[in-house]
């Protein structure tokens, strides 16, 4: 067989021929190579220099602006987030321009609320602000285009807001959207004893449950808050006690449906209310939040007794939404108009003077002129003193958004017609000349009066005297408007002070337990409850690090014990060595 090549390759180095570049020449050539300098984008350079490395950022010293839209439940969440951030060292500011980070707490009930939320995100980005998003909008639809790349904290994860803010300030994007669970059972949400900053130091908002049992075809909130999950009675009572100890004189109970409270944990709303009434001090009041007709029907007798209690406002918010059974069926409201009337008629009879507030949606898909006229008749008959009128907005992802829509002009006209009917009567004219007991808790929007409420939670404006704030007193009603009355304090009447202690100053953090006070930098070292969450590729923030022994309870004793043990070991080794030498 002929050879494949004429010469035999004896060694691998023989591959290099005489004509190839030698190592010495190759090194010489390198010395004559000059690197080409690439021009950098000076604008990008400036921006990069403005942003310090994430490792050099000290968390807990920045200013944070918080904006909340929506219901009292959302406002309570905002207060809890503000409290935790302030307890850690962040400064909560009312000036959005000076803030380093914007925390935007959203509402998904109607399109305009989400539009405001979206516009605020855009404004924050234009102002080079860090942004953290919270509330029902990102919880329900976290993959929306305008939310991409932004940090999100879910409605049940508000106890971890410090983590999310800290990582966002460092330039990371964090998303915590999981549910709080205990042994597989969904919980009501974050702990109730977390620090908070009350918007009004005299009013405590307590969420008694989250989610609901309904599946209304127009509701987007269900996508965010989920099914019913109630807090245990003892936790709610403890929270109320703590609030009164911090100078609160009015408690609001809130949720997506207070009437459904307890059905998931084997109790009910009247049982909770009777327990709460036991701890309300003289001069303080309790206000019950919204309840849907189906769940209050079962407890009418007990609810009437509770609403007659002198420390409970004779007030109930019961949304009817429409007076047409066919529309209610399309809404999947699970009651008929007769059910609503039964609740209202019974309470009006058993609780004289009770205030019934309600909601109505104008222009729901399929609503005819006849359907709308039924709603108008209902308002004419009951003349609700508090009526929330909403033009229907189709929310993305809801069944109602896919239904044939009522023309926009028709919806607008129906909303206008109902508003005109509502403003055609004055519900308080007959109360001029009455002597009423009121609790003063707020300042009016025009800052000219203090705002008080009588036993029926009707608004009464009183003189702006600082001595009246937080007090229960008697007034003579001398004027009435559409939404308010005006009262003059009775000079010889007794004034009640509900506060067990001095109310907290505006902006002061409540709920700072010993657990928080002993933590580094007033930080928080509590363990978050177990939750299922979207994996986050980010290192844990410093405040979640393990405590050193001297930061834990009994730390001094532990150190002493360890030191003595080490000393004993050293002594044993020392004397053992001496015996060996001898």
Residues of the chain with pLDDT under 70: 1-56, 499-500, 513-582
Q: What is the pLDDT of residue 531?
A: 32
In a domain, 514, yes or no: no
pLDDT of res. 182: 77
Distance in angstroms (rounded) separating the CA atoms of residues 566 and 2: 83
> Which pLDDT belongs to residue 263?
94
Residue 567 lies in a domain: no
Residue 238, exposed/middle/buried by CB under 10 A (0-12, 13-18, 19+)?
middle
Same domain, 421 and 458: no
CB atoms within 10 A of CB 300: 14
Which of 478, 497, 516 terminates a domain? The answer is: 497
pLDDT at 184: 72
The span from the CA of 575 to the CA of 370, in Å, is 102
Do residues 204 and 169 both lie within one domain? no
Q: What are phi and psi of 195, to 5 degrees?
A: -60, 150
What confidence score (pLDDT) does residue 202 get?
Answer: 96
In this structure, is residue 396 part of a structural domain? yes
Residue 486 sits at φ, ψ, to 5 deg, of -120, 135
Is residue 572 included in any domain, yes or no? no
The pLDDT value given to residue 530? 32
CA neighbours within 13 Å on the CB side: how many for 16? 6
Cα–Cα distance for residue pair 175/536, rounded to 1 Å: 7
In this structure, the answer to whether residues 319 and 438 fall within a common structural domain is no
Q: What pLDDT score was predicted for residue 12?
A: 40
User: Which CATH number do you get for residue 265?
Assistant: 3.80.30.20
Distances (CA, A) of 525 to 88, 162, 194, 306, 514: 10, 11, 12, 40, 11
The answer to whether position 245 is within a domain reads yes
CATH code: domain of residue 447? 2.40.50.140
Residue 12 lies in a domain: no
Q: Is residue 386 part of a domain?
A: yes
CA distance 301 to 118: 45
- CA dihedral for 564, 566, 568, 571, sign (positive or negative): negative
Count of domains in the chain? Answer: 3
pLDDT at residue number 494: 80
pLDDT digits (tens, 9 = 90+) for 231-279: 999 999 999 999 999 999 999 999 999 999 999 999 999 999 999 999 9
Q: For 535, what's the count of Cα atoms within 13 Å in the CB-facing half-sphere?
A: 1
Instruction: Clarify whether residues 115 and 148 are in a common domain.
Output: yes
Same domain, 223 and 336: yes
Q: Are residues 257 and 328 in the same domain?
A: yes
Q: Which pLDDT does position 93 carry in this prediction?
A: 96
Give residue-wise pLDDT tens across range 356-367: 999 999 999 999
Q: Which residues pair with 452 in a beta bridge?
A: 440, 460
The Cα–Cα gap between 164 and 24 comes to 58
Is there a single domain that holds both residue 440 and residue 363? no
Residue 579 confidence (pLDDT): 44
| Whether 291 and 350 share a structural domain | yes
Q: Are residues 103 and 244 in the same domain?
A: no
Residues 397 and 364 in one domain: yes
At residue 185, the pLDDT reads 73
Where does residue 297 rank: exposed (0-12), middle (13-18), buried (19+ CB within 10 A)?
Answer: middle
Q: What is the span of the domain harbouring residue 464?
A: 430-497
Report the CATH number at residue 166: 3.40.50.12160
Look up the pTM and report it: 0.79
What pLDDT is stored for residue 51 in this prediction? Answer: 60
Within 10 Å of residue 111's Cβ, how many Cβ atoms?
Answer: 14
Within this chain, do residues 168 and 273 fall inside the same structural domain, yes or no?
no
Beta-sheet strands, E only, within 36-81: 63-68
% helix, strand, coil for the chain, step of 5: 40, 20, 45
User: Considering the domain boundaries, does residue 512 fall inside one?
Assistant: no
Query: Can you give the pLDDT at residue 118?
Result: 95
Which of 126, 147, 178 represents a domain boundary (last residue)? 178
């Amino acid at each position: 067989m002929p050879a494949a090549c004429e010469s035999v390759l004896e060694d691998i180095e023989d591959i290099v021929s005489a004509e190839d570049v030698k190592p010495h020449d190759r090194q010489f050539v390198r010395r004559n190579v000059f690197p080409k300098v690439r021009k950098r984008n000076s604008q990008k350079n400036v921006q990069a220099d403005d942003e310090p490395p994430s490792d050099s950022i000290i968390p807990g010293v920045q200013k944070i602006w918080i904006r909340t839209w929506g219901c009292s439940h959302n406002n309570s969440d905002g207060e809890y987030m503000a409290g935790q951030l302030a307890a850690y060292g962040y400064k909560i500011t009312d000036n959005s321009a000076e803030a380093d980070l914007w925390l935007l707490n959203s509402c998904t009930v109607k399109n305009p609320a989400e539009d405001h939320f979206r516009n605020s995100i855009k404004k924050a980005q234009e102002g080079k602000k860090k942004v953290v998003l919270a509330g029902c909008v990102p919880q329900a639809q976290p993959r929306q285009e305008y939310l991409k790349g932004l940090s999100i904290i879910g409605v049940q994860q508000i106890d971890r807001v410090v983590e999310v803010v800290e990582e966002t300030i460092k330039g990371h994007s964090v998303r915590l959207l999981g549910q709080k669970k205990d042994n597989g059972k969904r919980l009501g949400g974050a702990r109730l004893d977390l620090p908070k900053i009350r918007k009004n130091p005299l009013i405590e908002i307590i969420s008694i449950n989250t989610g609901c049992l309904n599946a209304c075809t127009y509701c987007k909130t269900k996508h965010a808050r989920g099914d019913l999950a109630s807090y245990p009675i003892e936790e709610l009572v403890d929270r109320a006690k703590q609030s009164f100890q911090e100078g609160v004189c009015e408690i609001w109970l809130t949720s997506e449906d207070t009437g459904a409270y307890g059905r998931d944990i084997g109790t009910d709303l009247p049982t909770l209310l009777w327990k709460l009434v036991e701890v309300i001090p003289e001069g303080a009041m309790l206000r019950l939040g919204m309840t849907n007709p189906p769940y209050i029907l079962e407890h009418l007798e007990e609810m009437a007794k509770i609403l007659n209690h002198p420390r409970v406002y004779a007030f109930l918010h019961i949304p009817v939404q429409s007076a047409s059974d066919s529309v209610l069926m399309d809404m999947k409201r699970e009651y008929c108009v007769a059910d609503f009337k039964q609740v209202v008629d019974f309470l009006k009879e058993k609780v004289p003077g009770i205030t019934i507030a309600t909601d109505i949606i104008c222009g729901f898909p399929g609503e005819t002129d006849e359907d709308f006229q039924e709603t108008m008749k209902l308002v004419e008959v009951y003349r609700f003193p508090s009526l929330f009128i909403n033009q229907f907005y189709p929310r993305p992802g809801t069944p109602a958004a896919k239904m044939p829509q009522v023309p926009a002009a028709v919806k607008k006209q129906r909303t206008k017609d109902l508003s005109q009917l509502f403003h055609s009567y004055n519900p308080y004219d007959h109360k001029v000349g009455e002597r009423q007991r009121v609790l003063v808790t707020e300042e009016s929007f025009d800052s000219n009066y203090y705002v008080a409420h009588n036993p029926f939670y009707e608004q009464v404006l009183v003189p702006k005297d600082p001595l009246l704030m937080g007090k229960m007193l008697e007034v003579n009603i001398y004027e009435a408007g559409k939404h308010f009355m005006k009262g003059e304090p009775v000079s010889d009447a007794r004034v009640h002070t509900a506060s067990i202690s001095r109310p907290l100053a505006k902006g002061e953090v409540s709920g700072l337990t010993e657990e928080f006070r002993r933590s580094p930098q007033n930080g928080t070292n509590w363990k978050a409850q177990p939750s299922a969450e979207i994996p986050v590729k980010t290192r844990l923030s410093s405040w979640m690090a393990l405590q050193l022994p001297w930061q834990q309870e009994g730390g001094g004793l532990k150190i002493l014990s360890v030191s003595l043990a080490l000393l004993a070991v050293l002594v044993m080794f020392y004397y053992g060595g001496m015996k060996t030498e001898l």
